Amino acid sequence: MKDTQLLKGVLDGCVLHIIANQRIYGYELVQKLREYGFSTIVGGTVYPLLQKLEKLGLIEGKIETSTDGPDRKYLYITPEGQAYLQTFDDQWAAMVLKVSKVINDGNNQNN
């Protein structure tokens, strides 16, 4: 299975977590995802996702001046985004528990 198939379902939550934890702009977000090990992530994946999250009201962008060059659009999580993130975290924890049970049960039967 390709990483991209697994990542598709969880990228929203990962991106929202990063935005919730720090003031960040798009290119910086791509770099942060790579730091976390998502080495195949590119702007062409992240920017449409950011547009979708903004359209859904989960994040908002604010143009701010930058000391390093032109103004940048910094991203912030909204209260709706915080609520979405809580639901994501709950669903992710439940999924990890279920998959772990399946894996552990299979490993126990092979011994």
Return the higher-pLDDT residue of 44 and 5.
44
**CA 82 – CA 87 distance, rounded (Å):** 9
Mean pLDDT for the stretch of residues 62-87: 94
| Alpha helical stretches, state H, the chain | 3-8, 11-21, 26-35, 43-55, 79-109
69 and 4 in contact (C-beta within 8 Å)? no
Reported as a single tens digit per residue, the pLDDT across 29-66 is: 999 999 999 988 999 999 999 999 999 999 999 999 98
